[in-house]
Structure 1
């Protein structure tokens, strides 16, 4: 199991890196740095850099001039994502071995491998369909889903003994906070894939108004090309405004629910839940601050990437808390004891997973 745990930890960290690099590639307009997939101008390793290679690339793709900087960004993202896929494949293979199946179901690692395959297809369509917003957004959601499953698998293996009950209303609040964060991430992906982040350049108003003119119909028409309506006309500013404004409304919902959840955790009187509440509140405040700064500072690349990373961290923290509270509910106790003291006092039967304890 030690090998499995190490691979799971590495894969989780790598998933964070893939999301961060993917955001950097997208926000630096390098998503089409390579016109083909999975290679780049016909190169599986590296990009065309020699003079004769660049001439060949220009002849093969005359309408897609080579920018080696953008091409390298895109290929590095593909290499990192490919490495993550191989790690997840290894996890899936290990999960199906007899000694591992006796401790946990291989269903989740297998489902995760399927999601990775779908992610690869979405990555290809992102390039071949020229950044169609719905494909780019689904690709972002797929990346967050991959991260969420890895985080969930890691947290589910966390060693901790739990004692007191958690208020059922707190579980409901935690689930609601998680749901609105997921919706907000999808809205954020839609903002990014439509390049609507600067549709409102002021804060807290938008274009100097609390309720600016908006075109909801065209804003959320899914089957269309980048910058165009479903009829092929240019996407109006009112549509971009509606996309941006919906993300701001989502931020209000996240702030209210996730903030209330964090405060409820802080008020439990239990040290570990208070720690989680403090982490959640800090991540929420940082994420809101980054969102406001991106508007007021006209979307600097570093802050924009940090906002994407912040979303991944906020999602991971909220999901982790929900999983731990669910495990409390299943075990009938909910307060973390000191791990070292707990393990020291455990009997041999407590340590044996075959006897019904999940410590392994």
Structure 2
């Protein structure tokens, strides 16, 4: 891709490209901080939004804490819960400002090829994501909002990657001779199907986290010693849960949580087989190309993510592994998106004779 001035985006917009890379790194940090906040049960560490007990930072000092507690008597003050929540908010707010700045610069330079549409969409999506962040607190960790907020974080991460790639221009030798090129393009619908499966699995993971179902089963390959334990799918996947209760720790019964957990397990197996086969097919058909390298990276991320999921179950969700599982879910999604971007470029690039 070239700009209206004939230069590549990487040459025309070096500062924007660096800003987009910074936003991508910051989005990674925000995802990690979000997982940390959720896993240490600090999602309601501050009962209000965007401040914390009416302050811009976590209250300190006996008098300030006493006033904060009097203002929110239903939410006992705990600085150990407040700081993870506020650190996450500070990082997310900084990311939002960076994205707004990128969008403004892209709009200003749109006549010379800056991706104003994509950047503007990202900025608008950040506003929606901020709203979900606020609702997460004001609706007391309502699972629907918590899950949507997690998915929104992954979406923001992917948008920053796509923006960086647009500003980076064409990199790597993705072009192939006509025969392997045709075989790779024949896989394109299957790769998009794999993307849909992966997004559904991430949504299942978000629902598992939002309903505290990660430790509903602690043995493998069985659950409570059975391959098909008692499960309540109707309650586990009831999207009409009432608004009002405090959902910290979850409100579902054990059989409902087991249904969610087992669904996530089955989804993981389906994704492993499907994406594993697709990545291997691309590696075989595009051997020696940058496309094969991208598929190899995706396969490695898939295997690491499955291994982290197994360790989460066997070790009962230790903090470091649980955060890594969350992060590698985002990295796997990015790996598949990167592969699809490269496959799409095969459609418009001239093939080698």
TM-score by length of 1: 0.87
**Hey, what does 1:57 align to over in structure 2?**
68
Q: Which moved more, 1:208-217 or 1:26-35?
A: 208-217
**Hey, what does 2:128 align to over in structure 1?**
118
Q: Find the aligned partners of 2:78 and 2:242 in 1 and give their Cα distance.
A: 23
State which of 90, 99, 103 in structure 2 corresponds to 1:88.
99
| Aligned partners of 1:95 and 1:101 also within 8 Å | no
Q: Find the aligned partners of 1:334 and 1:249 in 2 and give their Cα distance.
A: 42
Secondary structure of 1:318 counterpart: helix
1:7-26 pair list within 5 angstroms: 7-26=19-38
| Residue 264 in structure 1 maps to residue 275 in structure 2 | no
**Hey, what does 2:156 align to over in structure 1?**
146
| Aligned partners of 2:208 and 2:264 also within 8 Å | yes
Q: Find the aligned partners of 1:285 and 1:162 in 2 and give their Cα distance.
A: 24
| Residue 254 in structure 1 maps to residue 266 in structure 2 | no
Runs of 4+ in 1 over 4 A off after TM superposition: 225-228
1:203-282 pair list within 5 angstroms: 203-225=220-242, 235-267=252-284, 268-282=286-300
Deviation at 1:152, TM superposition (A): 1.6
Deviation at 1:302, TM superposition (A): 0.7
**Hey, what does 2:4 align to over in structure 1?**
none
Change in Cα spacing, 1:334 to 1:321, as seen in structure 2 (3 Å) is farther
Deviation at 1:172, TM superposition (A): 2.2
Deviations, residues 231-275 of structure 1 (Å, cap 9, x unaligned): xx9522111111111111110111011101221122122332232
Change in Cα spacing, 1:330 to 1:30, as seen in structure 2 (3 Å) is same
Task: Give unpaired runs (5+ residues) of structure 2.
Answer: 1-12
State which of 133, 138, 141 in structure 2 corresponds to 1:131.
141
State which of 323, 328, 336 in structure 2 corresponds to 1:310.
328
Secondary structure of 2:228 counterpart: coil
Aligned-pair Cα RMSD in Å: 2.1
Change in Cα spacing, 1:176 to 1:259, as seen in structure 2 (3 Å) is same
| Residue 301 in structure 1 maps to residue 313 in structure 2 | no
TM-score by length of 2: 0.89
Q: Find the aligned partners of 2:174 and 2:111 in 1 and give their Cα distance.
A: 25
**Hey, what does 2:5 align to over in structure 1?**
none
Secondary structure of 1:14 counterpart: helix
Deviation at 1:166, TM superposition (A): 4.7
